[in-house]
Chains A and B, each alone.
Chain A
């Protein structure tokens, strides 16, 4: 397993020699992921947002790997990559609007919470159907190659998703077509209540690459520098036309699958505390403090700043305009077809009668 930092923050491999600014940035991005999750959970408990699936414990995995992708590269989200999207350009306001599913959400409140998208940084949302994005990423990587461009496609998915049809067809096609893609398996130990060990009889998820002619590597997913290094090498390889790779980032889902899950029913506290001792942020913080890049106790002030920034955005998003009712029938096709205009008009007549329509919600011309 590739590792750069030991749990105590000491170097155990070659120093990647990043600038102090870069190192501090990585920490800040990781902290943002944790702070945003914390606030979203609080909002969920207060009934302000419906559902939250956090990335607690996965901060190094997401930030380290995604930091190796450039602006023209794509990130195909499998589930929990919202924090990586923030680093790559998703505005925090859009993130929060998506969680509120309000009228400011770029997906028009149509997706459940935790389904972020950001076209500007090549980040389509996952659908909810596990594994379906994997062949999409492979097809898009094929298109990149066909069009003579040099973008790389980072295709993310969980340990559970390795059992999906999409994983197997995606890996197979990628190998056969030799596309510029990196498969990023976020092995966080659990697929809801099913442990990684019950998901596969392979000794390592990295072994799965062998069957498809795609080299696989295991990486310590709680080590941000190891994730960055391994992803950097895989991205370079893909960009050079040398083909796809599979990275297995081994980490741990510290909380329940989502806000509706109670993990105490199926896993031991001892396992959770063992992983808490390997916390990815603390590990990196120790390294930075030892380096003199971060002052002792500075993390707390960084977090306070982040929380203030997040709270301000939340405050803004609490007051969004009502969702236009026409969004019910728009975007099904490029044009709203006649039968849908008719269905909408019948509906809006009833809504108007009950005083539920806003100006602008009126009927379509037939």
Chain B
């Protein structure tokens, strides 16, 4: 099995999907000859031609709006938004149009499409190249929201998203694009959406996370283990629709829960996990649920290392709920 970085796995997924299905088209800003600013689309124009992988004018609204129309008329568009921070001109097209099309047409029209975009901090990108906006989108019925954290998942989840009958926002943790290389199966395979992944088994504390926070939580769990606390780590992978059964089962197993994300705390995805457990499994809880998150501020630049939850802050929360 070849070993790939996460961004290479994305590239591999796009190529696999395009080879498999002629209706798959990839477009966005700088995705053509340049191959994308992170090289996620490298080599696509040369392999599949300008008809299937092409650059667009600088308009996210135009990119996503035209993707909706393509999807309504037989293509499988995979649109790239260069940074998640620049998706907001397309918010209307995602929230008002793509996500509601099936419902408002009584199922007559649908928008099977993917919007891929790198998200998250850790690259010294400041306010507008670092944000984690998943919560805005998770408040959007009709949309699916997927975030991989490993190369193999990035490929399997992206192919599954492209083949999914509904619109998917595929958020790629850019901090992990080149962080590790791991084995990725060759050829076509899918990783089912709405299924979480158990990263690590443990009996004392359950840590829920996704995207770039997964390796941070793994490091915290290793340190916790050194002092005798065994953590289970759950990578949610799909935030919407969430694997609710899986979350409840994992929470019940330890009765002590920490939720970690780099996005701001208030109305962040951690609140949903926390509410789900409080509503359905409160009698299993041995400690209050703890959240480790970014601050309720815009994303900083020089001080970003303080904003991003690190293994020390996660460990702090683990020790706190373990000792409660």
Contact = CB atoms under 8 A, between A and B. Distances in A.
B126 A112 contact: yes
B256 to A, nearest CB: 19
Contacts of A259: none
B30 A192 contact: yes
Interface of A is mostly: loop
A358 interface: no
B226 interface: no
Interface residues of A, number: 44
A343 interface: yes
A194 interface: yes
A339 interface: yes
Interface of B is mostly: loop
A164 B63 CA distance: 11
A239 B265 CA distance: 48
B270 to A, nearest CB: 14
Given A112-B128, A128-B129, A193 B32 contact: yes
B296 A339 contact: yes
A194 B127 CA distance: 25
A266 B32 CA distance: 9
B285 to A, nearest CB: 21
Interface stretch (B109-117, B213-221, B300-308): B300-308
A93 interface: no
Interface stretch (A25-33, A64-72, A297-305, A344-352): A344-352
B106 interface: no
Interface stretch (A12-20, A208-216, A279-287, A324-332): A324-332
Contacts of A235: none
Contact of A192 (B37, B85, B265, B306): B37
**Most central of B30, B62, B302 by chain A CB within 10 Å:** B302
Contact of B125 (A112, A265, A266): A112
Interface stretch (B5-13, B53-61, B181-189): B53-61
A350 B303 contact: no
Contact of B58 (A112, A130, A323): A130
Interface in B100-130: 124-129
A48 interface: no
A217 interface: no
Contacts of B297: 328-329, 332, 340
A204 interface: no
Contacts of B306: 325, 328, 347, 351
B34 A265 contact: yes
Interface in B249-274: 265-266
Given A112-B125, A325-B306, A329-B297, A354 B55 contact: no
A200 B312 CA distance: 50
B133 interface: no
Contacts of A323: 302-303
Contacts of B295: 328-329, 340, 343-344, 347
Contact of A194 (B58, B89, B298, B300): B58
B29 A354 contact: no
Contacts of B303: 109, 323, 325, 327-328
A273 interface: no
Interface in B42-62: 55-59, 61-62
Nearest to B297: A332
Contact of B59 (A110, A112, A163, A198): A163
B313 interface: yes
A128 B34 contact: no
Given A339-B296, A343-B295, A347-B295, A129 B58 contact: no
B301 A112 contact: yes
Interface in A89-120: 101-102, 109-112, 115
Contact of A328 (B34, B62, B300): B300
Contact of A165 (B29, B56, B59): B59
A161 B301 contact: no
Given A165-B89, A329-B295, A191 B58 contact: yes
Nearest to B89: A165
Interface of B: 29-30, 32-35, 37, 55-59, 61-62, 85-86, 88-89, 124-129, 265-266, 295-298, 300-303, 306-307, 312-313, 316
30 contacts: A51-B124, A110-B127, A110-B298, A110-B300, A110-B301, A110-B302, A111-B126, A112-B126, A129-B85, A129-B86, A129-B88, A129-B128, A131-B58, A160-B58, A164-B59, A191-B29, A194-B29, A194-B30, A194-B56, A198-B55, A265-B33, A266-B33, A323-B303, A325-B306, A327-B300, A327-B303, A328-B307, A343-B295, A350-B313, A351-B306
